[in-house]
Amino acid sequence: DIQMTQSPSSLSASVGDRVTITCRASQGISNYLAWYQQKPGKVPKLLIYAASTLQSGVPSRFSGSGSGTDFTLTISSLQPEDVATYYCQKYNSAPHSFGQGTKLEIK
Amino acid sequence: EVQLVESGGGLVQPGRSLRLSCAASGFTFDDYAMHWVRQAPGKGLEWVSGISWNSGSTGYADSVKGRFTISRDNAKNSLYLQMNSLRAEDTALYYCARRGLYRYSAFDIWGQGTMVTVSS
C-alpha cells in the first residue's frame, strides 16, 4: 500500500507568516491528493482537492501544489483562525490513506 | 441543507458486534460514493472503508478487512458499517463522508461522527 508522510508533525508560526506543509506519497498518485483542516473538537473540512483546486468557500490564502509523489499546502499569510491540524489524503485508489497530520499553532 | 448524520455508536465488549448507520439528506444519495473514516482519541484520521454509488465496488483498510462490512441502501438514503469481532483498537469516532461526483473530487461532506468504545 502507498504510504503518506507529512512534515513537519508540528509547526509554530507567527500571524502573517507564510507557512508550508509537505506531503510525500511512497508511490505516484497523479493529482489525487486532498488537504483537510481539522480544528480542535471539529469535523474535518476539505480545503484543497486534485492537489491544487481550492474547495468552494475556502480563503484564497490557502493553496496547494505538486503532482506524482510530492505535494505542498501553503498558507500565504497565517491567521489566528488557521490554528488546526492539517491532513493530506490520497484517493486515487483504496486504501485512501491519510498522512499523520501537521499540528499548526500560533507563536 | 446537505447533511450526513451518523448513529449506532456506543460501548461494546471486545469480540462483540455493532452496526453504524449514516443518514444522508439534501442531495441525491445514489449519485455518490461514500466512505467511513475514523479517529481514535487524540490520534489522526484513518480511512476505514468505501463503497461505490451502486455498491458494485467496496474497499477496506487492512486493519478492518474481514471484520467490517460496508453497505448502503439507496432507497433509504443510508450508509452502514457492520463491525464484527471488535477490538480495543477499534475505539474511535467514526465519520461518514461523501466523495464528490467528479473524477478528482475528494471527501467534501462529513457527518459529525458517532463514538464507538470497545471495552470490557
How, if at all, do strands A4-7 and A19-25 pair? Answer: antiparallel
Q: What is the pLDDT of residue A86?
A: 98
Q: B105 CB near a chain A CB, below 8 Å? A: yes
Cell of B118: 470497545
What is the average pLDDT across A22-50?
97
Q: Compute the Cα dihedral for A91, A10, B44, A77 and give only its sign.
A: negative
Distance from the B47 Cα atom to the nearest Cα atom in chain A, whole angstroms? 6
Q: Which of the four pLDDT bands, split at 50, 70 and 90, describes residue A41?
A: very high
Catalogue the E-assigned strands of A9-107: 10-13, 19-25, 33-38, 45-49, 53-54, 62-67, 70-75, 84-90, 102-106
Q: A101 CB near a chain B CB, below 8 Å? A: yes
For A43-48, the CB contacts below 8 A with 24+ separation are: A43/B95, A43/B110, A43/B111, A43/B112, A43/B113, A44/A87, A44/B37, A44/B45, A44/B95, A44/B107, A44/B110, A45/B110, A46/B106, A46/B107, A46/B108, A47/A73, A47/A86, A48/A73
In 10 A of CB B41, how many CB atoms? 9
CA distance linking residue B80 with residue B74, whole number of Å:
11
Inter-chain contact A36–B99, Cβ cutoff 8 Å?
Answer: no
Inter-chain contact B61–A85, Cβ cutoff 8 Å?
Answer: no
Q: A96 CB near a chain B CB, below 8 Å? A: yes
**Best of A91, A92, A98 to mutate (most B CBs within 10 Å, chain B):** A91
Q: What is the pLDDT of residue A37?
A: 98
The one-character DSSP state at B100 is: P
Burial of A9 (0-12, 13-18, 19+ CB in 10 A): exposed
Inter-chain contact A43–B44, Cβ cutoff 8 Å?
Answer: no
Q: Which of the four pLDDT bands, split at 50, 70 and 90, describes residue A16?
A: very high
Please work out, in degrees rounded to the nearest 5, the angle formed at the alpha carbon of residue A70 by the alpha carbons of A67 and A75. 95
Inter-chain contact B95–A98, Cβ cutoff 8 Å?
Answer: no
Condensed to tens digits (0 to 9), the pLDDT of residues B25-77 reads 999 999 999 999 999 999 999 999 999 999 999 999 999 999 999 999 999 99
Q: A39 CB near a chain B CB, below 8 Å? A: no
Condensed to tens digits (0 to 9), the pLDDT of residues B65-115 reads 999 999 999 999 999 999 999 999 999 999 999 999 998 999 999 999 999
The one-character DSSP state at A82 is: G
Q: What is the pLDDT of residue B25?
A: 98
Inter-chain contact A96–B50, Cβ cutoff 8 Å?
Answer: yes
Average pLDDT of every residue of chain A: 97
Inter-chain contact B50–A94, Cβ cutoff 8 Å?
Answer: yes
Cell of B111: 457527518
